Amino acid sequence: MNLTEASTLEPQTPLTEIDPADSGHQAKSTMPAIAKRCCEAQIAHRPRLLRRTETLRRMVREHILQVEDLIYPLFVMEGEKHQESVPSMPGCYRYTLDLLLDEVKQAYKLGIGAIALFPLIPHAQKDNAGTESYNPDGLIPRAVRAIKQAVPDILVITDVALDPYSSEGHDGIVQDGKILNDETVAVLEKQAIVQAEAGADFVAPSDMMDGRVGAIRRALDAEGWINVGILAYSAKYSSAYYGPFRDALDSAPKFGDKKTYQMDAANAIEAIKEVDLDIAEGADIVMVKPALAYLDVICQIKQHTNLPVAAYNVSGEYAMIKAAAQQGWIDEKKVILETLTSMKRAGANLILTYFAKDVALMLQS
Instruction: Catalog residues that contact ligand PBG under the rule CB under 6 A.
Output: 159, 161, 163, 171, 206-207, 242, 245-246, 258, 314-315
From 36, 126, 258, 289, the catalytic residue: 289
Active-site annotation holds for 126: no
Q: Which is nearer to ligand PBG, 36 or 278 (CB)?
A: 278
What phi and psi values does residue 268 have, to the nearest 5 degrees? -120, -40
Quick one: which of 119, 124, 251, 275 has its CA closest to 191? 119
The type of residue at 125 is Q
Active-site annotation holds for 178: no
Minimum CB distance to ligand PBG, residue 288 (Å): 13
Q: Which is nearer to ligand PBG, 108 or 355 (CB)?
A: 355
Minimum CB distance to ligand PBG, residue 7 (Å): 57
Please tell me the chain's helix, strand, coil percentages from 3-state DSSP, rounded to the nearest 5: 45, 15, 35
Minimum CB distance to ligand PBG, residue 207 (Å): 6
Q: Which is nearer to ligand PBG, 300 or 313 (CB)?
A: 313
Q: Which residue's Cβ has the minimum distance to ligand PBG?
A: 245
Q: How far apart are CA 69 and CA 41, in angstroms?
A: 46
Which residues are bridge partners to 118 per DSSP?
75
Minimum CB distance to ligand PBG, residue 144 (Å): 17
Minimum CB distance to ligand PBG, residue 245 (Å): 3
By CB atoms closer than 10 A (0-12, 13-18, 19+), residue 153 is exposed
User: Which spans in 262-355 are helix H?
Assistant: 269-281, 295-304, 315-326, 332-346
Q: How far apart are CA 230 and CA 203, in angstroms?
A: 5
Q: Which is nearer to ligand PBG, 3 or 86 (CB)?
A: 86
Its sign, for the CA torsion 168, 174, 180, 183, is negative
- For the chain, how many residues are written? 365
Q: Which is nearer to ligand PBG, 246 or 304 (CB)?
A: 246
- Give the H or E element holding residue 262: none
For residue 43, give every residue at least 6 positions away whose Cβ sits within 8 Å of its Cβ, in sequence order, or none: none
Q: Which is nearer to ligand PBG, 3 or 309 (CB)?
A: 309
CB atoms within 10 A of CB 277: 16
The type of residue at 134 is Y
- Give the H or E element holding residue 179: strand 178-180
Minimum CB distance to ligand PBG, residue 315 (Å): 3
Catalytic site residues? 236, 289
